[in-house]
Structure 1
């Protein structure tokens, strides 16, 4: 089983979370009140259980994607922020000194484990349902902005950029 691969955290610094992550913190409430073990049930068929190296905990990977959704950050930004944001580390069930994943691991997780796009929606919906049951989220309605957004990188080739800019320059001159 995937959950049997995970190890316990033995760190002398775990007590720091009680000092720097307040009880009212949203991520602390989510982590303390929501049982994310449903992620194992949903993803058990997506992992090989008999060979290969130990996988990064699917709950942690799901939580990275959940943080990405909550805070509207890129893979690189969410991993970078989880290096120094103690509420993120607490939510991800990491020791304060534990290193974070590579941003490319999130891409691999999405492509290899969440091939079915609806699966990610299902996992987020289950998390929201549990959060509503535990009264972390008070409202019965959730508004989601589903507009398409551009990625950080430039989607046009250099030649296309030059052609577009020259067209704009000619238009401005005329």
Structure 2
């Protein structure tokens, strides 16, 4: 299997974006990175607007309106069209609804070769990283560290708790070379 799309799923501040960028340099060919942060950046006031359909709760919980979910479906439909047209994608995701979110993405990308990589990070480490980042809402890293993996089925997993994102990216690239035919 030669994947067209690599999905990295993990909580806030787990290191997914850094792994994505490192993979772009390590993998053969040209890979584009997109994900939840790219989508949020495109929303009105970068998602911090009632019009964006996102509600951030004090405990780190996030909820979405039906209008937001419809727009999200359009986002994934566009990305799947890019993959179907030949683009190689790395999706940096936070599956807040766990396996249900995975099913939504898989159905949108039906027929596209995908691999799923879990990016794990201990809640206390994610919370510490999050505290050092001004663009993160307090509590999200800890709240998401475990929950985003509930019900998600992975092809490969890494942990950034005690390893660098560069080392984790090398592990993913090595696994892809052996298992998925990317050399």
Task: Give the structure with the higher percent strand.
Answer: 2
Task: Give the structure with the higher percent helix.
Answer: 1
User: Does the TM-score normalized on the shorter chain lie above 0.5?
Assistant: no
Q: Which protein, 1 or 2, shows the higher relative CO under an 8 Å CA cutoff with sep ≥ 6?
A: 2
> Which structure's CA Rg is the greater one?
1
State the TM-score, normalized to the length of structure 1: 0.26
